[in-house]
Structure formats: structure tokens, C-alpha cells
Amino acid sequence: MTTTAKALLRREMMPHILCPGCGHGIVMNTMLRVLARRYDNLNNVALVAGIGCSSRIVGYIDANTLHTTHGRALTFASGLKLARPELKVIVVTGDGDGLGIGGNHLIHAARRNIDLTCILFNNETYGMTGGQLAPTTVREAFTTTSPAGNTEPHFDAAALATAAGASFVGRGQAFRPDALEEVLERALDHRGFSFVEVMTDCTEYFGRKNSLGGGSDLLFTQSRSDEEVSRDLSEWPSLRPGEGWQVRETQPIGVLSEDSRPAFEESLGLPGYKRKET
């Protein structure tokens, strides 16, 4: 393959809407590099998204793209995959879109083990719609709807997907695009429902509300998840953990679980999927 990541962009859609320092751009670039290695063009790839900053990313990629209603990306993607099983269908969603409004659809897509890849951008807030409290917002974090600090426990998206039956679950970070590439490659190779949670950051709402500095400062707070690159936050004077916000807990990255149970399409005998013999 000689395709470059830039060649897969819709140039007419530029400039993008992402804020300076937003981790979503790093994740999109990582996705493009992975796709460029796998495909000369994206004619047989479909990208499906709901509503949110992360969901706008599909419009910048020159594939078959579907921008759906809030929280319903996996529903549309499931129908698309069953109607056109030859397509590689990738869902791009956010923590609010995919876990809050669309949480029920995530559970059942994982349970059915539909042959989709779901990439969930977790920035711990509703970034596009005003910085409200999200299912992934950590305790004591300030948001526009928790001005005194969040009192609720947060969802572990990867653990939820595993418990619901996803046959591949991984986690990556905008801070470690090299490691994220490896997880995305494995997820795209997997047959069945693959779920990848990507830790990314919202500088405009989450960062400012919690006095966490700019984009680069936020990226380094993600290093809590990786012992190889973890560093003392006191080295970064713009980070002020403790002012009503606890430093995010350590979370493992990489491939977290994988099994090879039959995809939902196999039980239906769809083209390209061998029906399981009884």
C-alpha cells in the first residue's frame, strides 16, 4: 500500500472544527495512518458516527460516511453491516454519545457480537454541547452541570463492553499514538464486535473547568496509565491537582480481552460468513 494518511482526507472539509490542543486530532491522525496501511482507498469502508466532537471526524475522511442521530450510531451501523456485510464498518462515537444517550445500544451490539469496530473517544465530558457531566466524568471533577464537583462514580467503558459480551476490548490514549495504532490494527483484524476506548481530552471545557492547563499538559496527565512513561505531576507547574479534582486513576492500555466466539452474521449465514453447522 502506498496510500498516505493525507490522501484519505476530504480536503474540501478543511479547516476542521477541533479546538487547539484537542486530543481528537491526534486520534484521527492515528486512525488515518492505520487505514492508509490497510487500504488504497476507502470505497469498501463505512464510517458511522452519532453526535459530538468525535463524531464530526467521519466527515473529514473520504470513506462511505454516515452521520446519525445522537446515541444511535451503533444502531445504524448494525443495520448497515447486516445489509452490506462485505463492508468494513467502523463506528466513531464519544463517551456521551456512546455511553450516555447510546449506552443501551452499546450493550446489545456487544451482546450480539456484530462484526463492527467501535472506537469510543473518552474525554470525560459532553464537549460539543456545553461541557456537561458525562457518564465517564471522574468524582470531584467540575463541569457545567456539576459546579460543586461530581459526586457520582464514573463508568469504566472497557469493563462495561467486556461484561456485555464484546469479543475484543482494548484501550488507548492520545498520549501514546504508537500504542493506539497497535490496538486499532488488532481491533480491525478481529471478527466480531471489537471495542476500543481512547482516552482523549477536552481543553476548552474539562481542562479549563478543572485548572489542568493546556493541551500538552492534559496529554501528560494521561501518562498515569502507563508506568513506562509515568512522571511526577509536580514537574508540570500548570497542573494543579487537588483543587477540587482528583488526578485520574491508573487504567491499563493495550488489548484487554479477546476471544473468538462466532460473529452474529455467522448465525444468519450472511455472504462471507460461514454458517455454524449444527
Is 207 within the bounds of a domain? yes
What is the extent of the structural domain holding 252?
Answer: 6-268
How many other C-beta atoms are found inside a 10 Å radius of the C-beta of residue 116? 27
Query: How high is the pLDDT of residue 218?
Result: 82
Domain containing residue 232: CATH number: 3.40.50.970
Tell the burial category of 97 from Cβ atoms under 10 Å away from its Cβ (0-12, 13-18, 19+).
buried
Instruction: Note whether residue 169 is domain-resident.
Output: yes
Task: Report how many domains make up the chain.
Answer: 1
- In this prediction, residue 250 carries a pLDDT of 65
Render pLDDT for 153-176 as a digit per residue (tens, 0 to 9): 988 999 999 999 999 999 999 999
Residue 274 within a domain: no
What are 194-225's pLDDT values in tens digits? 999 999 989 888 888 888 878 888 887 776 54
Flag whether pLDDT at 249 surpasses 70. no
DSSP code of 272?
A: T
- Does residue 172 lie within any of the structural domains? yes
Residue 277 within a domain? no
Residue 276 domain flag: no
Query: Residue 228 — very low, low, confident or very high, per pLDDT cuts 50/70/90?
Result: very low
Q: How would you list the strands of the sheet with 254-258, edge to edge?
A: 63-67, 42-49, 88-94, 117-122, 194-199, 168-173, 254-258
Q: Is there a domain that residue 278 lies in?
A: no
pLDDT given for residue 3 in this prediction:
82
In a domain, residue 275? The reply is: no
* pLDDT at site 219: 82
